[in-house]
Structure 1
Amino acid sequence: MVIASSRHIAEDACELIQVDYTALRVAVDVVEAAKPEGPLAHSHLKDNIAASIETKFGDVETAFSECDDTLKLSFKQHRGGCHAMECRGVLGDWQQQLGELTLYSSTQCPYLVRRMVSRQLNCPESSIRVIAPDVGGGFGPKAGYYPEEALIAIATKELRRPVKWTEDRKEHFTATNQQRDQIWELEVGFKKTGEITAIKGHVTHDSGAFLNYGLLLSATTLMPLPGPYKIKNLHVTLNTVYTNTVSTSPVRGAGRPNAAYAMDRVIDAVARHLSIDPADMRHINLVKNEDFPYQPGSKHRNGSMMTYDSGDYTGMLAMVKEMADYDNFRQEQKQARANGKYLGIGLACFIEDTGMGPYEGVNVRVDVTGNVIASTGAASQGQGHATVIAQVIAEQLDIEISKIRVESGDTGKFPHGIGAIGSRTGVNVGLSANDASGQVKKKALKLASILLDKHEDALELSDGAVRVRSDSNQFITLADLALQLSPAVAGKLPDGFDSAGLEAVSYLSSDYMPHSSGANIAKVEVDIVTGGIKILDYYVVHDCGRILNPMIVDGQIIGGVVHGIGNAMFEQMVYDDAGNPMTTNYGDYLLPLASEMPEIHVAHIETPSPANPMGLKGAGEGGTIPAIGAMINAIEDALTPFGAYIAHYPVTPEYIVELVDSEQVAAE
């Protein structure tokens, strides 16, 4: 590690360091790495298979023996990156006199950082404060623990002065965890009617050099695999394989986009084989309303059965078809092909398990000025958490939202937490904020009952005060109530109160994981000469239960769709045969531009979740999960006259031309 008084000096000093390397065989290609004789990513291991897992339910072999037909298909999902607007950064400040460390980190999980730094510095957690400011994007890779957090902590303690490190974009390309690198081989059995009866197969997951997140990605690939479809017999295995590439981690959806993509590719492949419209094919296989609560057969990582709590999958499909004018587009598509234009329309349906536990706590406190301070451990990366939390509290306490301040992502202000991951903050923090502010409300009514000499039933909380229902001029403000419970008032606490302060804390989560869902449609035009793809329109119908803030939810969905479009059309991390990263800047690695994005039309169906009292479901990743499948299905639909099968993404112009040319040659 090089430490200097400026970045320029530090970078110049790095040039003085010489490292001699011994060239060894490298494991870059995951297929070769998975073979027993493949090059080892780690010389002390006997092979590169980090773990093998499976999801299995039903009687797969019997179902295959009784089906009318089968199809085999394989595809590769190339890896991409995180590419948050703000790269990672750490600033440490050790106070020798106090024996305390303050660490600012652009992390999604400040409590994980506190715990790990405590272990590595061999000092108590109580002496470490980790602050995660409201940074520019997280998307999953910032939820992990990185060496820089330990190194900065060590450096500031040794030097006894503040030390900072900021990742540059090239470092982000070569060191920050990456995403979605898998190869799928599936076989599907089905009836002539279109009913899918069984699926079996194998997935090879490239974990990169290490298992930074254990088997989280592997599990979240297999666990939701049935998606919103009623698949009664399924057996899919997955090998997690080490390679000498950057480690992979959850990125907006973790393994769920991989699973959703696989299922929507299966649906379209069978539909094409049977000459059934893809929308009709989905309707045949979707879980119906009368099936809820529905257990698909797969299990969560803790061993409990997955349970789809509520939804309207067929209703969402019908709604998105109507929004996209689906049936008329098919007629337009035929006319366009006759004129040499190739239009395509693609569908994707998905489910997402959200609100993962165990909890995320909130403390709600009314100060003696009547303002409210809400503290939580959930760090924010621009999602608008503070707005949603303040809304929930304002509704409970009937006060102006401007009087509420939300403090988040600071281990010095809230003792226990996890962070912002997995579409869980709106659910768990929303529930805890609602419960804690509800407790504050009860406490306020109880104290006001004593001070106003009125029964609690005769009182109500409105406009920042507890008022007598029959005479609103009789009231006591929340500020005065907070003062009565503060040390500023002499004497003991009022009878029936065993704690000071007009405040409460709550740690809540859902009884089980609520499932969001949705249906998407993409429309594209493909130029078979240049391989160019124009996205004409994109439609989303989404269900995240009770919506707390429609604008924030729409923003999450639209941003997620763009993320998925980037995966489908542009993004790919490339390594050469020696394991050197070839995509280290935005000249080589492409991201979608605003000018290339279509209008994204968003509508909602609300089916409140019975898994929690507020009916909440998560919304953070629901835009990305189906978008890749919708886009690839639309592009392939446009190329139907050529019989093209898209075997990997991103789908580049070169790949389009190659597909069209190869099919034309085959036809000749």
Structure 2
Amino acid sequence: MAATPGQLVGQRVRRREDPRLVQGHGTYVDDVKLPGMLHLAFRRSDVAHGVIRSIDTSAAEAMDGVEAVYTGAQIADMVPPMPVATPFPAPDHHSVAPERVRYVGEPIAVVVATDRYKAADAAAAIEVDIEELPAVIDPERAMAGEPTTIYDDFENNLAVPLAPAGTGVGADGSIEDNSALDEAFENADVVISQRMMNQRLVPNAMEPRGIVAHYEPGKEELTAWSTTQNPHIARTLLAAILGMGQHEVRVIAPDVGGGFGSKINVYGEDFAAAAISRDIGRPVKWIEDRSEAFMTTIHGRDVIGYIDLAATGEGKVTAVKMRLIADIGAYEMVLTAAIPTLVAFMISGVYDIPVVRAELTEVFTNKMPTDAYRGAGRPEGIYFLERAMDMLASELGMDPADVRRVNFIQPDQFPYTTAGGMVYDSGEYERLLDQALENAGWEQMKADRDAARAEGRIVGLGMSFYTEICGFGPSAAMPTVGLWEHASVSVERDGKVRASSGASSHGQGHETTFAQMLADDLGIPMDDISIIHGDTGQVREGTGTFGSRSQVVGGTALLMASGKVKDKMRTFAAQMLETQPGDLSFRDGMIGPTGQEDTGVAFAEVAGFAYIPIPLPPDTEPGLSEEAFWEPEGFTWPFGCYITQVEIDRDTGELELQRFVGVDDCGNVINPLIVAGQIHGGIAQGVGQALTEEAVYDEGSGQLLTASFMDYQIPRARDFPRFELDHTVTPSPLNPMGVKGIGEAGTIGSTPSLVNAATDALSEFGVRHVDMMLRPEKLWQIIHGGDA
């Protein structure tokens, strides 16, 4: 839909990025080709846990096209262990394992060759002798040190032994008082208790990871083309590991084919590539294949929750306790230890619960490390809570909508501080619930379900209500990184605008939404604005794209920089018009007196004057280029309700998702088309977790059994009904646009809704809870009386 200047925000403007990408004109990391470039392949561990006795690289070194082979010990001499960004203790994690391996797929050696195929063949020729040790796979057994411990310094495999939060927990993280918690459960009319599993997932971005590292010996500078979500953080970490100044390292994120959080990290392969390029003085490229992506790109979720909920007979929740066990894999990546803490942050959901307690334990196992995957802790927390709310409704014979309604935080309670210490910015939950029920035709859905059941069909309805912590900062939440964002806005001599943002797009549509916002702010056509991102050589500073923060934090920083440019342009325009700067506004490509539509001077004319100002206004420099750093004072909290209908085939156990009704509230919407796309993608991944996706390791050997799309099924378009989506608007008071973030919402709310629907469908078989994923054979066994 076309929109004129001043009317772009809120319109369904098509993404500016898409024509270039769909016509094959994108530039991804694998498209980068440099003179003299060599290729890397990694020899990886075939066992989950063991001590490296010896490595024989002689056969690989003798192969055609091989330029060099590096063992883990050699790489360890070139770069130190990888850094983390959390305050928790972390074991040494080398880019390439020098002595001991701790998961299948861990790098052991690196081959440098003239093409990737020769490199791969040579890597396979490396002979490695490993003394195999017992694989630690089950996190609850691991907590007892069984079958062994992975690290001598971490007793019973405990990465974080106990991290409590909520009622009765002191500022130092110690449990000071259990009386309120004990009293709530002693006086409850009903208590819901359930063990639940939020299974391990593989992110599987469309584009696997990759890097081209080019160290130039004459300049002593490194340029890295990377599939990163946050090039400035990548620059910081590469510089630190290599002992270089940040000004000597440039990171470019060209077109990036998705990330879902998995590309926040700088991985061992990235550090090794940079170190090898510096060592041999030539550019090197490494591109992950899909098998490696399954084994060696971070995994997500993998949290066990023991949930206890206390309530009155009328359905009012008086206390919630969650005991959480997070299987974080073999090492800590950049944010690994922090992600499970977000599960605890979500313990109250959208409900006014006076007493809450979360107790978190993080456990090392011989698996690929976990880290941020779309939602990052929020899907797990909301899943546990929303399953418990449905169990409460069932126990009391209440409508799932009613049990939620009676517990909602009310609009006049905002800003609302939960019992766990989270501060919610704004919300109107009951209004959104009413909209969702109306759109779904909830009463008719229940009648239709009951009629289908009378015919012998297995039909169920599910509901979930989510909120999520978004708009990451403030920096206090991650002081080792900082959660501000940087932006710059420059108006060129011809009136065209060049804006840069430290937020780096990998599919979110920044080039469109940022341009929409600035076009409205400056009163000029959107086509006159270029958005620059993803290059530390062109964007001075930045934090990056994760945690649904780009528009909230990055967009606000752009507005701040734009405001500074406008102030300066008003000064120039006031001199040209012989008026006062404060009387001038920006509209329709003009700068003129507010309320006088026919009076003013062209935006481009003022821009030209700024570079040849004769005479120069007092206390003013020539030019129009400003920058801003902006940090929010708190988090934003979008919310929503998802209603689903499923039917399970009695003969096969196959589950069909028949209806999906969603209402989201992400504050003010910049571009509804892009918001809908974000919700669609999130729903798809949430449905995938509920129905088809699970990363499974063999208990004995530690081998990843779901290491390809043959065994790890992601949902396809035919698996979905038409999404019936709508939204309400509750602006955030914490940023000038009133936006909240939407990129992870669909992933958070869809999963519990589907499992609630499946459990409702299976209620006739006495089912109270069924863990994900909902495989057909599992459902068939339930229907036919087997053990699921």
**What band does the TM-score fall into relative to the shorter chain?**
over 0.9
Query: Given the alignment, which residue of 546, 549, 553 partners 2:671?
Result: 549
Matched with 2:581 is 456
Which residue type is aligned with residue 485 of structure 2? E
Q: What is the CA distance between 1:474 and its match in structure 2?
A: 6.2
SS of match in other structure, 2:417: coil
Please report how far the alpha carbon of residue 362 of structure 1 lies from its aligned counterpart in structure 2 after TM superposition: 1.1
Percent identical residues: 34
Distance 1:657 1:470, change over 3 A: closer
Alpha-carbon distance in 1 for matches of 2:325, 2:287 = 34
Distance in 2 (CA, whole Å) between partners of 1:194 and 1:607 is 27
Alignment CA distance shift 1:612-1:640 (3 Å): same
Structure-to-structure mapping, 1:57-76, within 5 angstroms: 57=167, 59-76=180-197
The aligned residue for residue 750 of structure 2 is 627
Alignment counterpart, residue 386 of structure 2, candidates 264, 278, 297: 264
Distance 1:356 1:470 in 2: 38
How do 1:74-473 residues align onto structure 2 when only pairs under 5 Å count? 74-212=195-333, 213-299=335-421, 306-357=422-473, 358-467=483-592
Change (3 A) 1:458 1:256: closer
Amino acid corresponding to residue 8 of structure 1 in structure 2: Y
Of the structure 1 ranges 587-596 and 68-77, higher mean CA displacement relative to structure 2 is found in 68-77
CA gap 1:462/1:642 in 2 versus in 1, 3 angstroms: same
Deviations 1:78-105 (A, max 9, x none): 1011011111111122233322211110
**2:471 alignment partner, SS class:** coil
Q: Is the 8 A contact 1:205 1:239 kept in 2?
A: yes
User: Structure 2: which 5+ residue stretches go unaligned?
Assistant: 1-109, 169-179, 474-482
Question: Structure 1 stretch 311-320 or stretch 562-571: which is displaced more?
Answer: 311-320
Q: Contact 1:74/1:647 (CA < 8 Å) preserved in 2?
A: no
1:509 deviates by 3.1
- Which residue of 688, 705, 710 maps to 1:587? 710
Moved more, 90-99 or 121-130: 90-99
- Does 211-220 or 383-392 show the bigger shift? 211-220
Contact 1:546 1:616 (8 Å CA) reproduced: yes
User: Do 2:336 and 2:370's aligned partners in 1 also have CA atoms closer than 8 Å?
Assistant: no
Tell whether the 8 Å contact from 1:361 to 1:377 is kept in structure 2 after alignment. Answer: yes
Amino acid at match of 1:454: T
In 1, Cα distance between equivalents of 2:631 and 2:667: 15
**Residues 133 and 379 in structure 1, CA contact (< 8 A), matched pair in contact too:** no
Q: Is the 8 A contact 1:185 1:202 kept in 2?
A: yes
1:342 maps to amino acid = I
- Quote the Cα distance in structure 2 between the aligned partners of 1:82 and 1:624: 12
Equivalent residues in 2 for 1:516-527, closer than 5 Å: 516-527=638-649
For structure 1, list consecutive stretches of 5 or more residues without a partner in the other structure: 300-305
Instruction: Tell me which amino acid in the other structure corresponds to 1:408.
Output: H
Query: Which amino acid letter does the alignment assign opposite residue 645 of structure 1?
Result: R
What is the alpha-carbon distance in structure 2 between the residues aligned to residue 638 and residue 257 of structure 1?
22
Aligned counterparts of 1:38 and 1:284: Cα–Cα separation in 2: 47
Q: Distance in 2 between matches of 1:379 and 1:600?
A: 28
**What is the SS of the residue equivalent to 1:94?**
strand
1:637 alignment partner in structure 2: 760
TM-score after normalising by structure 1: 0.95
Secondary structure at 1:370's aligned position in 2?
coil
Aligned counterparts of 1:229 and 1:341: Cα–Cα separation in 2:
34
* Further displaced range: 40-49 or 244-253: 40-49
> 2:165 is matched with which residue: 36, 47, 55?
55
Q: Which residue of 2 aligns with 1:649?
A: 772
Query: 1:53 corresponds to which letter in structure 2?
Result: A
How far apart are the structure 2 equivalents of 1:16 and 1:457?
Answer: 73
Does the 8 Å CA contact 2:391/2:768 hold for their aligned counterparts? no
Q: CA deviation at 1:631?
A: 0.5
Query: How far 1:254 moved relative to its partner?
Result: 0.4
Whether the 8 Å CA contact 2:374–2:747 is kept in 1: the answer is yes
Q: Which residue of 2 aligns with 1:302?
A: none
> Is 1:616 aligned to residue 739 of structure 2?
yes
**Root-mean-square deviation (Å):** 1.9
Alpha-carbon distance between aligned partners in 2 of 1:366 and 1:124, rounded to the nearest angstrom: 31
In structure 1, what is the Cα distance between the partners aligned to 2:596 and 2:775? 70
Aligned-partner Cα distance in 2 for 1:469–1:310: 33
Map of 2:653 onto structure 1: 531
Instruction: Provide the secondary structure at the position in 1 that maps to 2:130.
Output: coil
State the distance in 2 between where 1:236 and 1:12 align: 49
How far residue 492 of structure 1 moved from its aligned partner, in angstroms, is: 8.6
Q: Using the alignment, how far apart are the partners of 1:513 and 1:311 within structure 2? A: 13
State the Cα deviation string for residues 329-362 of structure 1 (Å, max 9, x = none).
1111111111111111100001111111232111
Specify the alignment match of 1:303 in structure 2: none
- Paired amino acid for 1:186: I
Partners of 1:579 and 1:410 in 2: how far apart?
39
Q: Which moved more, 1:510-519 or 1:567-576?
A: 510-519
Counterpart CA distance in 2 for 1:30 and 1:458 is 66
Q: Distance in 2 between matches of 1:462 and 1:268?
A: 52
1:158 shift after superposition: 2.5
Distance 2:322 2:346 in 1: 15
One of 590, 598, 607 as aligned partner of 1:482: 607
Find the aligned partners of 1:48 and 1:458 in 2 and give their Cα distance: 66
Query: 2:460 & 2:731 partners in 1: Cα distance?
Result: 34
8 Å CA contact 1:90, 1:106 repeated in 2 = yes
* Deviating more after overlay: 448-457 vs 436-445: 448-457
The 10-residue stretch of structure 1 (368-377 or 287-296) with the greater mean CA deviation from structure 2: 287-296
Task: Give the CA deviation at 1:462.
Answer: 2.8
- Residues 192-214 of structure 1 deviation map (CA, whole Å, 9 limit, x = unaligned): 11111122241111000112114
8 A Cα contact 2:572 2:610, kept in partner: no
Task: Give 2:164's aligned amino acid.
Answer: E
> Displacement of 1:469 after TM fit?
6.2
- Count of aligned residue pairs for this structure pair: 656
Deviation track 1:401-454 (CA, whole Å, cap 9, x = no partner) reads: 011100012111122211000000010111111221122112111111113322
What TM-score, normalized by structure 2, do the two folds share? 0.81
1:505 aligned to 2:621? no
Give 1:47 shift: 2.1
Alpha-carbon separation, structure 1, partners of 2:309 and 2:157: 29
- Judging changes above 3 Å, is the alpha-carbon distance between structure 1 residues 69 and 459 closer, same or farther for their aligned structure 2 residues? closer
Q: Displacement, 1:522?
A: 0.9
The answer to whether the 8 Å contact 1:55/1:237 transfers is yes
Measure, in 2, the Cα distance between the counterparts of 1:312 and 1:227: 13
1:534-581 alpha-carbon deviations (Å, 9 max, x no partner): 111101111111111111111111110111000000101111121111
Deviates more, 1:447-456 or 1:249-258: 447-456
1:458 CA drift (Å): 5.0
Q: Secondary structure at the match of 1:346?
A: strand
SS of the residue corresponding to residue 413 of structure 1 reads coil
Deviation at 1:479, TM superposition (A): 3.5
Provide the secondary structure at the position in 2 that maps to 1:74: strand
